[in-house]
């Protein structure tokens, strides 16, 4: 493997990501074409005259051939023009700006809470394989992994917001236009719900990968040399587990972009998930297209970052790159 292999691999992953997003854009645009209803009539209302509907269709380019409409829509996506909402009759970008910030805050808080907890629990279970601690963590993660996010959310509402303790709000209390972080208590249940969905998978993957690494020959050799257990774990075992664990962690964090839809609906959280549900109900095609592409782009970018992090952390790739040849 030559020293230039790592940049080539990164460029290859980047090109694949661009291709995936292009395919997703084709699927999203094609699917919205199959939706019933006329976007122009949805904007003007059912009482609009055929002449007004025809004029608006011409203004929006809805009477153009589908390939031309797709290219114009894709060009708008690339330049930040997401079109106009049929519900608000305003720019989609203005509609989603605040909601993207709210959902982004939810995802960042979930990642900050779940990542260190999951990695620590997974490593602890791997180091204590076969112990009661390992069995308890494995059993708990298996049970949590089997529960859908809405079940976990409902259980938390029952436990902490209604019947038992009543210490947290069961739904978002922020008024329209008020930042969600102005009332931190309303973020607790959505964040905990999403974290409890992500943590079990990362715990199980971290345990499995680290356990396999601890049984490898190079780790046993380091132990035979008399190195402290912490040194063996940090310098020899952990670097070889970062790649696979990063992949699973990225998949789970990327899943949050889709799973947040259910959680936001459950807690009436004013993010893109709630906006997507409202847009589907109102047949607001431009909003559905924009949110779907945003979620897809987030998913692809997170996986791309995980691929790059895994390659940079892989000692074999790193050493071959720094060595200049093999």
Residue range 208-240, pLDDT digits in tens: 888 877 777 666 676 667 666 666 666 666 666
Q: What is the pLDDT of residue 325?
A: 45
Q: Which long-range contacts (CB under 8 A, 24 or more apart) does 15-19 make?
A: 17/300, 17/301, 17/303, 17/304
- Look at residue 270 in the predicted model and tell me its pLDDT: 86
> Is 60 exceeded by the pLDDT of residue 284?
yes
Tokens 């199980």 correspond to 204
User: Which residues, including other chains, have CB under 8 Å from residue 119's CB and lie 6 or more apart?
Assistant: 202, 206, 245
As a whole-number percent, the residues of the chain with pLDDT over 90 amount to 4
* pTM for the whole structure: 0.77
What is the average per-residue pLDDT within 122-150?
A: 85
Q: Are 96 and 270 in contact (CB under 8 A)?
A: no
Residue 269 pLDDT more than 80?
yes
What's the whole-number mean pLDDT along residues 180-202?
87
Q: Which residue has the higher pLDDT, 88 or 132?
A: 132
In sequence order, what are the beta bridge partners of 84? 91
User: What pLDDT score does 19 carry?
Assistant: 92
When pLDDT is averaged across residues 239-268 and rounded to a whole number, the result is: 77
């Amino acid at each position: 493997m030559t020293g230039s292999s790592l940049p080539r691999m990164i460029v290859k992953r980047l090109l694949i990501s661009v291709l995936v997003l292009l395919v997703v854009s084709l699927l999203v645009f094609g699917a919205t074409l199959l939706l019933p209803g006329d976007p122009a009539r949805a904007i003007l209302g059912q009482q609009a005259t055929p002449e007004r509907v025809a004029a608006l269709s011409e203004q929006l380019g809805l009477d153009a051939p589908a390939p031309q409409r797709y290219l114009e829509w894709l060009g708008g996506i690339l330049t930040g023009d997401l079109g106009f909402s049929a519900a608000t009759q305003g720019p989609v970008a203005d509609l989603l700006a605040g909601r993207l910030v709210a959902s982004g805050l939810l995802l960042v808080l979930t990642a900050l809470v779940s990542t260190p907890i999951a990695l620590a629990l997974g490593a602890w279970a791997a180091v204590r394989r076969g112990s009661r601690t390992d069995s308890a963590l494995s059993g708990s993660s298996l049970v949590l992994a089997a529960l859908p996010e809405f079940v976990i959310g409902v259980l938390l509402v029952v436990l902490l917001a209604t019947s038992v303790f009543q210490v947290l709000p069961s739904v978002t209390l922020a008024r329209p236009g008020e930042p969600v972080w102005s009332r931190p208590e309303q973020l607790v249940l959505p964040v905990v719900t999403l974290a409890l969905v992500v943590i079990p998978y990362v715990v199980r993957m971290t345990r499995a990968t680290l356990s396999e690494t601890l049984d490898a020959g190079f780790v046993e050799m380091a132990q035979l040399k008399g190195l402290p257990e912490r040194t063996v774990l940090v310098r020899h075992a952990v670097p070889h587990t970062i790649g696979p664990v990063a992949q699973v962690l990225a998949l789970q964090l990327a899943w949050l972009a889709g799973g947040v839809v259910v959680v936001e609906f459950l807690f009436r959280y004013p993010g893109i998930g709630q906006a997507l549900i409202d847009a589907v109900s109102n047949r607001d095609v431009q909003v559905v297209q924009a949110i779907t592409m945003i979620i897809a782009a987030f998913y692809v970018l997170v996986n791309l970052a995980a691929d790059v992090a895994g390659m940079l952390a892989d000692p074999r790739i790193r050493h071959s790159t720094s060595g200049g040849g093999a």
